[in-house]
Amino acid sequence: MISTELLASNLLSPVVLAFALGLAARLLRSDLEIPAAIQSYLSIFLLLAIGLKGGVALRNEAPDNLLLLLVVTLACGVVTALSAYWAAKTLLRDSRIDAASLAAHYGSVSAVTFIAAQQFTERSGVPADPVLVALVVALEIPAILMGLAIAKGGSGLQWRHVREVLTGKTALLLIGGMAIGAISGKAGIDSVDQMYFQLFQGTLMLFMLDMGMTAAAQLRQVGREALPLLLYGTGVPLAHGFFGVSIASMMDLNVSTATVFGTMTASASYIAAPASMRASLPEANVGRCITAALGITFPFNLAIGIPLYAAFAAAIAAMP
């Protein structure tokens, strides 16, 4: 069972409170705005910073089972995409194309939710394994391709779709940041430490403030589908989160790492997946996917999901 102390520490963290402030700003019809150029800068900064951090750590302590972790993560991306598709067809009665679009979003991963989960484990005193940065990219790729394959049929999936996913902003910055961190090492990265590591927390708060305002705007578009979409946007992540924690625990990853891995599988993409769907599947209702992923699933995971996955990981670890 989740402890009230664990839940309170998460809800009262600066990251979650900044998100809540953004929600409040929209509900109060404040004129607060973060310009689009700054929004883009904040996301680039965070993705590159987390890539750099992971690259430095992997250079010093790359796990022996890295290949196995990558293969398992790729398989998880396929499984979560298929389950999200089934849930959309069953619960929401979606068409094949709209269900496939939701599958791509909910099988993929939210880099910002991943960062929030990392921050959660750091506050607990036991940071998650840095190899997870590489696994974020591995989880994103199969789900988006699976969604496109379901919508278009296997023969409709082309190399350009794969290229678009691999060269998208999230994958490029994370992989590029990891490469820079691994090549430069800690001594080399020390020269940019104040920029990318000392300022990380403050930048994340600004980004979460913007995410709160964006999520509030998306929620206004729910309309008559509110209840089914709410059930989908919370039920699917819960199932995926517990599944991810179970898989991570089976691979003997520690509680913190299992928590973050479970959060990764529970999260839904609202950056990479929408971009891919809009480019390759324009007939899909991508706006509805963003509403579910960002307006429902993101705040659910941020406030409640992450502590739940942590409690579940701890419960599995305590089993004889």
- CATH code for position 294: 1.20.1530.20
| Predicted confidence (pLDDT) at residue 172 exceeds the cutoff of 70 | yes
> At a CB cut-off of 8 Å and minimum separation 6, what does 232 contact?
87, 88, 91, 92, 102, 292
* Tokens of residue 16, six digits: 């979650």
* Average pLDDT, rounded, for the chain: 87
d(CA 282, CA 10): 38
Least Cα distance to 287 among 273, 301, 299, 298 occurs for 273
pLDDT of 80: 96
pLDDT-derived band at 158, boundaries 50, 70, 90? low
Contact 215, 298 (CB under 8 A): yes
d(CA 109, CA 132): 12
pLDDT of 1: 54
Q: What is the DSSP string of 61-80?
A: H--TTHHHHHHHHHHHHHHH
CA quadruple 152, 169, 272, 121: dihedral sign: positive
Number of domains in the chain: 1
User: pLDDT tens digits, residue range 241-252?
Assistant: 999 999 999 999
User: pLDDT tens digits, residue range 219-240?
Assistant: 777 777 788 999 999 999 999 9
pLDDT of 197: 80
Please report, for residues 10, 78, 245, the alpha-carbon distance to residue 125 in angstroms, rounded to integers and kept in the order given: 14, 32, 19
Choose the weakest-confidence range: 108-122, 154-168, 176-190, 278-292: 154-168
Long-range contacts of 188-194 (CB under 8 A, 24+ apart): 189/52, 189/56, 192/52
Long-range contacts of 1-6 (CB under 8 A, 24+ apart): 1/311, 2/307, 2/308, 2/310, 2/311, 3/311, 6/307, 6/310, 6/311
pLDDT of 196: 85
User: pLDDT tens digits, residue range 47-70?
Assistant: 888 888 888 877 777 677 888 998
Model confidence, pTM = 0.86
* Residue 287 belongs to domain spanning: 4-318
Please report, for residues 92, 131, 239, 278, the alpha-carbon distance to residue 217 in angstroms, rounded to integers and kept in the order given: 22, 34, 27, 20
In this prediction, residues 2-26 reach a mean pLDDT of: 81
pLDDT higher for 168 or 47? 47
Contact 173, 48 (CB under 8 A): yes
What length is written for the chain?
Answer: 320
Angle at 123 between CA 117 and CA 186, to 5 degrees: 85
Choose the weakest-confidence range: 212-221, 238-247, 310-319: 212-221
User: pLDDT tens digits, residue range 264-296?
Assistant: 999 999 878 887 888 778 888 888 898 899 889
Contact 266, 110 (CB under 8 A): no
In this prediction, residues 138-153 reach a mean pLDDT of: 84
pLDDT of 310: 94
| Predicted confidence (pLDDT) at residue 311 exceeds the cutoff of 80 | yes
Q: What are phi and psi of 285, to 5 degrees?
A: -85, 80
| Predicted confidence (pLDDT) at residue 149 exceeds the cutoff of 90 | no
pLDDT of 293: 92
